[in-house]
Amino acid sequence: MRPALSPLEALEGLDATEKADIDRILETLVYLYSESRRVTKEVARQHGLTGPQVTALKMLEGFGDLSLSDLSARMSATNSTVTGIADRMVRDGLVERVRSERDRRVILIRLTDRGSALAAQIPVESMSVFAAALRSLQARDRRELTRILRVLSDRVADLVAEGGPPEAEARTEAQANAETEAEGKP
Amino acid sequence: MRPALSPLEALEGLDATEKADIDRILETLVYLYSESRRVTKEVARQHGLTGPQVTALKMLEGFGDLSLSDLSARMSATNSTVTGIADRMVRDGLVERVRSERDRRVILIRLTDRGSALAAQIPVESMSVFAAALRSLQARDRRELTRILRVLSDRVADLVAEGGPPEAEARTEAQANAETEAEGKP
DNA sequence: GGCGGATGTTACGCACGCGAAAGTTCCAGA
DNA sequence: TCTGGAACTTTCGCGTGCGTAACATCCGCC
């Protein structure tokens, strides 16, 4: 199917086909990811909300009251980001802030009646297009995908963990060589 | 092997295992995506740049002068977003705006000497951790992944075109080429 | 030649999204 | 007890990211 390696490629351990494959995979993933986000945002907008606001509503609907930290963790965002989102949702009457009795440092985010009603009204969750597409996959392919993604995420976790400064591992030998004298910043 | 469907699941067309699988896939993808972005951002920061700035530098290094619209398309962002990025890069002396001779509506974005030097110094591209992880995959798995992602992105494109997922109706015009345009790089 | 739509860029307003620092509250240990 | 550090949230500043509107330029068509 694919042409044999040229001598140069063989010497350098490079493979143009491999690079093209990887670029294609990355491009497709970025497409899938950003398209899913775009659709979610569009759906949210039809209800007068933003994407992250829908995510928060659904989290609170599913789990009940959540501390701001818990909500942040479930939304994969930082506390400072979610503080702002909560601010706007309070402003719009979707949630309220309640001080925890157990630990007075904790602020619980709670749905208001209006927030609950809206959450019940909105059928979708984050990444709904993506989920729909996954649902249409053959079970076998879905299992394959799960397995491969597992491998990838383990590998990424390793790469990130190993090199404290996450610069030394994510590149080819050629790039590493070209960089040996390029340290420091203007 | 997964257990047989319970009567309820069969009746409703639901499958708890399937839903869990899909949730897991989505979770893993979000993890991979956001972790990759985080690392890219971290690398950029070590050179005094931001993630999108690095992306822009690398595009300009690879393609030469680009109109703002071309640069936006290659970065998968809107013109208004890239206008802001270009503003800050001009402010920092990385690029300059040049009016096109051929078409006076067009503004070309051009690397300055400082910008070129910096681009040459920075070894990574966007999603570098992800790319490294993909490189460590077996060739067979990489082919499987490519195939499955192709199916998914076709499906997503269909869903979006038709009128969307369960409930969404998202309009899009410039996304159809995201797939067909996956060829060719200098 | 000039008009009207198409194309290219910027301006503006808003909502994330993050890191660093500041302000509370809790808790373990001297 | 009290004191220092840890846990939790908010504030601040900056940089995306997008949609809409405004503005300039180009081009086909009369």
Using a 10 angstrom Cβ sphere, with 0-12 exposed, 13-18 middle and 19 or more buried, the burial of residue A86 is buried
B126-158 burial code (b ≥16 CB/10 A, e <16)? bbbbbbbbbbebeeebbebbeebbeebbebbbe
Query: What is the CATH architecture assignment of B9-136?
Result: Orthogonal Bundle (1.10)
- Output the average pLDDT for chain B: 80
Distance CA B71, CA B75 (A): 6
Give distance CA B181 / C1' C12 (Å). Answer: 32
Q: What is the pLDDT of residues B5-32, one digit of tens each?
A: 444 444 455 567 778 888 888 888 888 8
Q: What is the pLDDT of residues B117-147, one digit of tens each?
A: 999 998 766 677 888 888 888 889 999 999 9
Please report, for chain A, the start and end positions of each structural domain, with discontinuous segments joined by +.
Answer: 14-135, 136-166
Q: What is the pLDDT of residues A60-75, one digit of tens each?
A: 999 999 999 999 999 9
**Which nucleotide comes closest to A87 if you measure CA to C1'?**
D10
Instruction: Look at residue A162 in the predicted model and tell me its pLDDT.
Output: 66
**Which nucleotide comes closest to A34 if you measure CA to C1'?**
D17
Q: What is the pLDDT of residues A89-118, one digit of tens each?
A: 999 999 999 999 999 999 999 999 999 999
B55 has pLDDT over 70: yes
B163 has pLDDT over 50: yes
Distance CA B65, CA B56 (A): 11
Instruction: Look at residue A15 in the predicted model and tell me its pLDDT.
Output: 65
Q: What is the pLDDT of residues A23-46, one digit of tens each?
A: 888 878 888 887 888 888 888 998
State the pLDDT confidence band at A181, using cuts at 50, 70 and 90.
very low
With an 8 Å Cβ cutoff, is B68 touching chain A? no
Distance CA B49, CA A143 (A): 39
A14 has pLDDT over 70: no
- What CATH class is the domain A14-135? mainly alpha
Q: What is the pLDDT of residues B66-109, one digit of tens each?
A: 999 999 999 989 999 999 999 999 999 999 999 999 999 999 99
State the pLDDT confidence band at A124, using cuts at 50, 70 and 90.
low
Instruction: Look at residue A19 in the predicted model and tell me its pLDDT.
Output: 80
Give distance CA B46 / C1' D17 (Å). Answer: 23
For residue A2, which of A18, A13, A14 has the smallest C-alpha distance?
A18
Instruction: Look at residue B125 in the predicted model and tell me its pLDDT.
Output: 65
